[in-house]
Amino acid sequence: MHAARWQGGVSPWGMSWQKLMMWLFIVSDALLFAGFLAAYGFQRLAAETWPDRNRVFHMEFITAMTFILISSSATMATAVGAAKRGDAKTMARFLALTILGGLCFLGMQAFEWTTLIRQGARLTTNPWGVPAFSAFFFMITGFHGTHVLIGVIILLVTAWKRASGDGVELAGLYWHFVDLVWVFIFGCFYLI
């Protein structure tokens, strides 16, 4: 799988150290978002009222964002598969589709933020009554959006360097993780 093994002839779980480190990073990053969402859940249960999400968000728009991110994860998985097969052409094509999906998602999030900010939403205040609502909204979606932005940069570098199978696989793991986090943000923030 990977030429560089740990000394001693044994690599833990038969994976490269790069992949093991990526997983360690993903688990620790998952703890970050779990902490955010738990703080949000605690605050929401403790609050007497909470803004009606149908008045604040446009669900069709958010569902479209979710669709794009899920689709970009599927194109990323295909790109990783192509890289493993040594099919550089298919890999480049699906990597480009994934980057496009990430940029679409970022653009739509920027549009959503702009819409809410124009309506008067700030970190400390918002027109829907509960100040903590917009604080949690901007912090959690902001952190996630930053992860998407970093993911797009990683994918651009991966494509630019014409990375081999292992490099694309690492970028893929990160990208799927960002999609995984959105599953919980979408569920906890927009649907419940």
Partner 1 sequence: MEQVAYRTYWLAWLTLLVITLGMVFVQLQAVLVLGMIAKATIIGAWFMHLRYERLEFTIIIMASIFVTALILFGLIVPDGLAM
Which residues contribute to the site for partner 1 (CB under 8 A)? 1, 13-15, 23, 27, 30-31, 34-35, 38, 41-46, 59, 63, 66-67, 70-71, 73-74, 76-78, 81, 84-85, 169, 172-173, 176-177, 179-180, 183-184, 186-188, 191-192
Residue found by looking up tokens 């964002």 in the block: 65
Tokens at residue 91, please?
A: 């890999």
Beta-strand (E) ranges in the chain?
none
Query: How many whole angstroms separate alpha carbon 28 and alpha carbon 51?
Result: 31
3-class secondary-structure state, position 179:
helix
Alpha carbon of residue 89 to chain centroid: 26
Q: CB of 41: closest distance to partner 1 in angstroms?
A: 4
Between 38 and 117, CB nearer to partner 1: 38
Q: CB of 120: closest distance to partner 1 in angstroms?
A: 27
Between 4 and 192, CB nearer to partner 1: 192
Between 113 and 184, CB nearer to partner 1: 184
Which of 48, 73, 54 has the alpha carbon at shortest distance from 190?
54
Q: CB of 36: closest distance to partner 1 in angstroms?
A: 10
Query: How many whole angstroms separate alpha carbon 80 and alpha carbon 155?
Result: 12
Q: CB of 62: closest distance to partner 1 in angstroms?
A: 9
Q: CB of 111: closest distance to partner 1 in angstroms?
A: 19
Between 66 and 141, CB nearer to partner 1: 66
Query: How many whole angstroms separate alpha carbon 147 and alpha carbon 127?
Result: 28
Between 153 and 180, CB nearer to partner 1: 180
3-class secondary-structure state, position 130:
coil
Amino acid at 170: L
Between 24 and 117, CB nearer to partner 1: 24
Q: CB of 136: closest distance to partner 1 in angstroms?
A: 13
Q: Is the Cβ–Cβ distance between 16 and 167 less than 8 Å?
A: no
3-class secondary-structure state, position 10:
coil
